Amino acid sequence: MDRELLATTLAETGEPSYRAGQVWEWVARGARSYEAMTNLPAGLRQRLAETVPLSTLTVATEAKSDDGTVKTLFHTGDGRPIEAVLMRYRDGRRSVCLSSQSGCPLTCTFCATGQMKFGRNLTVDEILDQALHFRRMEEIDHVVFMGMGEPTMNVANVLGACEALPDLGVTHRRTAISTVGWVPGIDRLAECEMPVSLALSLHAPNDGLRSQIMPVNERYPIAAVLAACERYRAARRRKVFVEYVMLDGVNDLPEHARELAELLDPRGYKVNLIPYNPTGSYDGSSPERIERFRAILAEHRITATVRLTRGRDIDAACGQLAASAA
Ligand code: SAH
């Protein structure tokens, strides 16, 4: 919801300022209409329904996976496409994957978003409206900034959205920001008081290979990125989650696992191995190769888990978000 438009509309109507908080409370708890906001005068509800849309986004399409995952394509007011995903887990967890930008300026070779045109940074309200869309379906308890875009390149708005997420039922500790390793962004997160988690998309254990698959590595090579992660760890006293997409024959060999283990302090990092979701350019590692990689890390005392793939049948899985403009 455009909260500035809400505030000016309320002011113009001569309403007391606490009305904005009342409206937000309803919206954050998943109200589907102003009609439902029974502690507001009927006339005001009517007026707001006419002037302040419940969302800054319009839903273009929505797809449902056999595993319960929902992917929604939205358009912003100026026609920019963004996608967000609701993941439902057997244990009852409901996790929402949000986009921070329409498209992405970085060009990671394995990622579908990296192949689409960069649009712009999303506003705080546009980020929250993705989560609110799903909140109107059901309660949510986790948020990951793993949708389109690089959250640390829009860090002020991403953190602005994080501040409001507890109103929707998502605590800071259940909020994760994933980055390609944009050093100033990591430093900004190190200063941030909110205990949100940091995930680093590392994907390769040496600069030669990483630069090949993630051009951003030319700007911020591995040593610089890990130095920033160390500053984050020292400041926040929290582990960093390392994401590693498993590309067959590219970065999944035993020597890569050993090299990765050399890089990481087992006390400070947890590795999440991501099965590759097809975007055209690579083959994914077999489950056997992923297990071999995990076992080598374990021998070096590094905890590694394999990410459960959700929504691949509707192109909603990691790295598969891409859409063209309205
Ligand atoms: N720009 C941020 C946020 C995107 S998060 C970042 O890169 O961290 C999405 C995660 O999915 C990242 O770890 C990304 O590298 C990974 N990913 C991208 N393409 C993928 C693919 N085809 N299969 C599996 N994971 C992929």
Whether ligand 1 lies within 6 angstroms of the CB of 279 is answered as: yes
- Residue whose CA is at the smallest distance from ligand 1 atom 13: 201
Give pLDDT, residue 117.
Answer: 85
Distance CA 266, CA 300 (A): 8
Give pLDDT, residue 310.
Answer: 85
| Known active-site residue 83 | yes
Gap from CA of 319 to ligand 1 centroid (Å): 5
* Section 270-296 average pLDDT: 95
> Buried (b) or exposed (e) across 142-168, using 16+ Cβ within 10 A?
bbbbbbbbbbbbbbebbbebbebbeeb
Residues in the chain, total: 326
* Section 268-279 average pLDDT: 95
* Section 3-17 average pLDDT: 95
The pLDDT tens digits of the residues spanning 212-238 come to 999 999 999 999 999 999 999 999 999
Judged by DSSP in three states, 121 sits in strand
Whether ligand 1 lies within 6 angstroms of the CB of 179 is answered as: yes
Give pLDDT, residue 37.
Answer: 97
Distance CA 322, CA 206 (A): 28
* Section 135-163 average pLDDT: 97
- Out of 106-120, 194-208, 234-248, pick the least confident: 106-120
Q: Which atom of ligand 1 is nearest to the CA of 277?
A: 23
Give pLDDT, residue 31.
Answer: 98
Is the pLDDT at 95 greater than 80? The verdict is yes
Gap from CA of 106 to ligand 1 centroid (Å): 11
The pLDDT tens digits of the residues spanning 99-109 come to 999 999 999 99
Mean pLDDT of all residues in the chain? Answer: 95
The pLDDT tens digits of the residues spanning 15-45 come to 998 999 999 999 999 999 999 999 999 999 9
Gap from CA of 144 to ligand 1 centroid (Å): 12
- Residue whose CA is at the smallest distance from ligand 1 atom 26: 319
Place of tokens 């035993």: 254
Is the pLDDT at 326 greater than 80? The verdict is no
Whether ligand 1 lies within 6 angstroms of the CB of 198 is answered as: no
Residue with the bigger pLDDT between 313 and 163: it is 163
Whether ligand 1 lies within 6 angstroms of the CB of 318 is answered as: yes
Q: Give me the CATH code for the 58-314 domain, please.
A: 3.20.20.70
Domain ranges of the chain: 3-51, 58-314
Give pLDDT, residue 114.
Answer: 85
H/E stretch holding 292 reads: helix 287-299
Whether ligand 1 lies within 6 angstroms of the CB of 284 is answered as: no
Which of 143, 146, 277 to probe ligand 1 with, by most ligand atoms within 8 A of CB? 146
Whether ligand 1 lies within 6 angstroms of the CB of 110 is answered as: yes
Give pLDDT, residue 325.
Answer: 58
Judged by DSSP in three states, 324 sits in coil
Gap from CA of 150 to ligand 1 centroid (Å): 10
Whether ligand 1 lies within 6 angstroms of the CB of 176 is answered as: no
Question: What's the per-residue H, E or C state across 81-114?
Answer: EEEEEEEECCCCCEEEECCCEECCCCCCCCCHHH
Give pLDDT, residue 226.
Answer: 98
